Structure 1
Amino acid sequence: AVCGLGGIGKTQIAVEFAYRLRSQCPDHSIFWIRANDQISFETSYREVAGLLGIPLDEANADIIAKVNARLARADAGKWLMIIDNADDLGSEDSTTSLVVRKQIPRHNSAGILFTTRSRGVATRLAKNHLIKVDEMNEPESFALFSRNLQQDRRIILQDEATTKQLLEILCHLPLAMTQAAGYFNKVAHMTIEKYMSIFSSRKEEAMEVLGEGKLDDDMDDPEKRAVATTWLISFEQIQKDNELAAEYMKFIATIKDEAIPDDILPDTKYKLLTFKQEGAIGTLVGFGFLKQQAERRFYNMHRLVHLVVQSWLKRRNETSIWIQKASTRLTKLIPTGGHEDREKWTGYLPHGLHVAQSSAFAVLPEEERMSLFVRIGACQRTLGQYSAAERLHREMLRLREEVLGPEHPDTLTSMNNLACLFEDQGKYEAAEPLYEETLRLNEKVFGQEHPDTLLSMNNLASLFESQGKQKVLGEEHPDTLTSMNNLANILESQGKYEAAKPLYQETLLLRQKILGEEHPDTLTSMNNLVRLSIAKASTRRSSRSTKRCCCFLERKSSA
């Protein structure tokens, strides 16, 4: 495990190690797991599952277990798994706790490298196999700062004493030095003396920007100040030079800080031309706020920068504004499930989940929240993420019952969707009462012949068929008789009288045998058969009348 302060370069060390391993040992597979949060962790595992050819139509927990089992096999080959940002063991739901609870894949020709801010976590995960990344010394800091400066800007390094003074106020922290170098590259004629003067005048405001927001508990105030102040100086310059880049920065603060697709960034008042988008993204890359992934359409923002921007928005009471913009944008991009453009929309889904789980999202209008919830839940169901989809569908149903009432069409849709999800997982006992309640309410609200009512009937009939209830409970069990009667009702409502009749007859015979002639359920079965006979007779009379009418018309037309 590699441990050290946030912003000190742990991830870059892991990246460099991965590249060197691949260069020296091309027969090794390398897998990168992002452990920032549970969404990132599960998404990363699903990406690895895809690379290993493991089917992605199962729940996330199964996918994690299957990936670990596949990598533990004797024929798995040589591999390295890097689990980045495994920082928290405090809660049962933390990704690091998930790693510990799960059976981490073990293989004689493989290894796992963790990066973490916490020495305690590092010791728990890697025992004594621990590398602590200490603060850079002067020569290392000077080399890093110089390397991040463009060739024509390295002239500012001629005064070594002043340069060393700058590196000291930046706490020799790689993230702060990278941001400062980006500023020097973008702002012509800026000197180190002038930059330090700006830093001194802005450092208190930068700490105020953080307010209640926390970077890392293990960072001292000078280190926090270095990160926040270099960001503030650069961001103020961006606001002057490229308003669109500043808007992108605010937008990104509301979504996830990693695997950001370039086309997720919103259309603004500019009605964007491509070159303006690329210019804005290029500005953020140039200032060191975004880093492009190997897959060119994706970008990452450093976690600490992400937290600083969030604190800045919170202090200015703009968080809800940008959460709403993110929600609107993601509602446009995320479909209601299905496999079309699946490779593309899976890149948007983690960002939609991140927005939906934010506290600011909870105060948005119900209709807007539901629109994003519906899309995320449908996509999770398409991906086989049943546990996550179930949590979301339960929340949607609860909200709609609370806000719209139990008989509102949208509430009934949510009830039906949750029942479908239960059926997909084989949770028939949970699905059946929901299907039955949806059918009852649809009949009450819309009537028996409405398409939504007929769909509910079909869903219930499909469930009975999947359930094989008679085989499980026995043909004389009361639940079996109820299911038989319900299925007959559905067939009758669809005009399938010949199929419904034997079911009604068998239900009646069994109820007479078990419940007796005068039991209400037995009398209901008798009534059902009478009603069916009347309906069939009416259909035959209607059919004869239609034939006579057709014959009459034929005679008239030939006369």
Structure 2
Amino acid sequence: MPYRGVGNFVGRQQELQKLHEELQNCANVAVSAVAGMGGVGKTELAIRYARQHEADYPGGICWLNARDSNLAAEIVLFVQSKMSLEVPQKLGERPLNLKEQVEWCWQQWQPTKGVVLVVLDDVTDLRSCREVLPTANRFRVLMTTRLRRLDTNFVELPLHVLSPEAALELLTALVGEKRVVGAHSCAPLLCEWLGYLPLGLELVGRYLAQDPDLSLAQMLEQLQEQRLQDEAIDFDEQQLQNTFSTAQRGVRAAFELSWQELEPVTQRVAQYLSLFAPTVFLWEWIESETELLNCKKSEINAAKKQLHKRHLIEPVEEREEGYKIHPLIREFLQAKLVASEQADEFRQAFAASGVEFAKKIPPSPTSEFIESVKEAIPHLEEVAQNLTDALQDDDLVWPFVGLGRFYEGQGLYALAEPWFQQCLELSKRLLGQEHPDVATSLNNLAGLYESQGRFAEAEPLYLQALEL
């Protein structure tokens, strides 16, 4: 095997057990595929499994890199170099093609008895390996892939990000318990920002270990400022080759591999998705943007399938047609959007959609209305917090008004107040002290105070609004 495997391996015991059961519980050739997003630890799981169960494969373990390689040629080379066998080029006078040479390799495998584990790491196209898979029942095939549902005949083991507890355990193992305990409130936030992704945790942990004076709080602040371009998670290939890490690339480069496989329409859809808040969104919201995305509804749904297959969006079990994006993938897609010629167009369209939604929120929403729109509220908050520069002046106050109404109508005054306050401050700063929307903002905030019986605070605001 080309990798030693990491020393700190946590949170995957159930997956290892399940994988072993599937590979052993089959009379024919067993093919199991470990599938997951880039950086989730598929290769590491395969390494750990192969090393842990080496004794269960007395026929040997064959590790092959399936990405950007000629698998048939790799297999022939493996047999020639590891078994010292001369692979025949002819059968009598008839030349053997590469596929026939591979079949000969499997038939002549040394030793001649015992179960064999064949690992195909990072499969990107099933066609490249279908014809070279062994057929004898002594072989067990383990694939790692970023593609969901590689084949219905394969047993798929989906690999997700670590649990918050396992992520914290991994970070602790990497930087030391004393350092994590000393930053007990910050360590979970750092794990959360990294989306509990093993690759991100390993790279950040390695970076922190190299600088004992860098606190976890400083690391988090640095990541929040530099995003995916921060050197802590943007290691280049050369840097990683100088370590025993299984990782061959940084987080951004790992995601780039999946990005390059997307169709142009899918890339546009993905860039637009990055504007949504990091929570559940409904696909029907994207289906309505055919004009903006310059494609048909059928193409948008084809894009959904492509994103889903590559684990770039994840379905939400408890919500039909609901999806989520991993926070680091969202960061990656936002960077792609910024570099796009359509960035301003997409941002303005998304903000305008938020305004149209906000205008539909009545001053006293019913419980039925609240229930029907609650999933859209975090995305309206995203507009208010990060996209006010994409709003027209006439629309500037609406995201804040809508949010204020949504919470005030439920009696959640403490949640409504910041939105009405921000609305007033922003309209004064960007529209001028005497703009009509300033008067509206004063009146809204005064009305909120009056609803709570805070008359002394409401009265001067009403008077200012009347003056305008």
TM-score w.r.t. structure 2 length? Answer: 0.48
Tell me which structure has the larger Cα radius of gyration. Answer: 1
Q: If each structure's helix is expressed as a fraction of its own residues, which one has the higher value?
A: 1
Higher RCO (CA-CA < 8 Å; seq separation 6+): 2
